[in-house]
Amino acid sequence: MPQLGETVAEGKIVKWFKAAGDAVTPGENLFEIETDKTSMEVPSTVAGTLTDINFQVGQVAKVGAVVAVIVGAGGEAHAAPRAAASAPAAPQAPLTPAKAGVQTQTARTQKELDSRLRGNDRLESFAYANMDPFREVRTPDKNFGPARVGGVTVTPLARRLAGERGIDLANIKGSGPHGRIVAADVEQAQPVARGAVATGASAAQVKALFEGVAYEEVPLDSMRATIATRLTEAVQTIPTFYLMADIDIGRLTAMREEANAAAPKGADGQPAFKLSLNDFIIKAWAAALTRVPAANAVWAQDRILRFQHADIGVAVALDGGLITPVIRNADSKSVTAVSAEMRDLAARARDRKLKPNEYQGGTSAISNLGMYGMREFTAIINPPHATILAIGTARRAPVETSDGGVKFVSQMTATLSCDHRVLDGALGAELLAAFKTLIEQPVTFLV
């Protein structure tokens, strides 16, 4: 199972293009996987015959798991380490009873591993031992982190078991010497369901509150589990403050209507482009970030990364979740280019066909709920971003004129969420003020 991104730990098999016994060549598609963000076809890297399929359609495989076995031609090289392992061992000195017991246990463990690799427990077999260095991957679940958790010592085996079972070591009391967490402590702990938050009431406790009430249980899919994990982390770890501004969009609306009316028509009579208000907002937000370069930054633990160009992520609603495709160098692109790219990204996002580099990264993000009639809202920052702009619906609002009268204008409310580790209040206000000025005088970000 390949790793399609730094945060991708597993993938679900949704389709097999080959069956056991079929011949395959390099570059030929083997299977299609679905992660929390996208779907992707995985090709073979060697030639040979597909002899074993370890994960069927609908099953989830960890990154690095042996999904299938190819033998013959390019597949023969992968069998070499197994043959070497079966060679007779050199004579050894007599063992003490203690060492003999250790060797017996080691042999038993090796025998269990061999049994798994032969197919008795294929869902747990991993390719870490003898992987081709060119294709070597590691899942984030296997990056166990530091040996000490909150000042408590943890054995390596306990860390590995906790990572495999999704158990938070911070909630375990160690039974080893000096409170050390050992494997037995992890085995007795209750694993956290995928996507569930470690704190709060358990599923059983919540269900007990609604005993006798009709409801439907909806299991978490990969996307919803990832959203739950990442945004819970964001709320708990990012010190966020919010800034809000009402913005006059009268000139921008008029410019959009004029641009769409002037769009050249093709042979079919359809206009070459149709710009949305959101297209102008993306362009203006990118321009604002480059005009306030100190705010065009992300948080990187022990440092802040500042960027010369603005890569803008735009939230796109999907069935059961959302995804944020990124428009690269939005500050240097025309509004028509931004519009065409956004339509393409949004369409492929809804089909879950985005590549990891198309939704990862970015320097800031926009969430627009104006089309749902929401006047204003606050958006949660998606780390490592330091800002996210929430856009409300356009509306008619009364404002006071310079002579003391009242007039109605087209207005929208923009709310900026800021990571206080990167932006202070004055810097955030400067950024939002720059955006407000650009929207109210749209010609300034088009020239």
Cite the active site residues: 420
Length of the chain, in residues: 447
Cβ-based neighbour number of residue 418 at 10 Å: 25
| Tokens read off for 184 | 């037995």
Name the helix (H) or strand (E) containing 162: helix 156-165
How many angstroms separate the Cα of 438 from the Cα of each of 286, 336, 445? 11, 17, 6
Of 59, 54, 76, 19, the C-alpha closest to 125 is: 54
Q: Tell me the C-alpha distance between 421 and 426, whole Å.
A: 13
Give the three-class secondary structure for 148.
Answer: strand
List alpha helices for 269-363, DSSP H.
277-291, 335-350
| Tokens read off for 217 | 């249980």
CB 299 within 8 A of CB 348: no
Give the three-class secondary structure for 322.
Answer: strand
Strands annotated E in 35-138: 39-43, 48-53, 60-62, 68-71
Name the helix (H) or strand (E) containing 398: strand 395-400
CB 195 within 8 A of CB 321: no
Q: Tell me the C-alpha distance between 86 and 89, whole Å.
A: 9
CB 11 within 8 A of CB 34: yes
Enumerate the β-bridge partners of residue 159.
none
Rg of the Cα trace of the chain?
A: 28
Q: At what angle do helices 277-291 and 425-440 cross, to 10 degrees?
A: 130
Per the listing, tokens 């076995």 go with: 69
Q: 364-368 and 387-391: which strand pairing?
A: parallel
Of 395, 391, 387, 396, the C-alpha closest to 377 is: 391
Could you give the angle at the alpha carbon of 264 between the alpha carbons of 273 and 272, nearest 5°?
25
| Tokens read off for 385 | 């971003």
CB 13 within 8 A of CB 61: yes
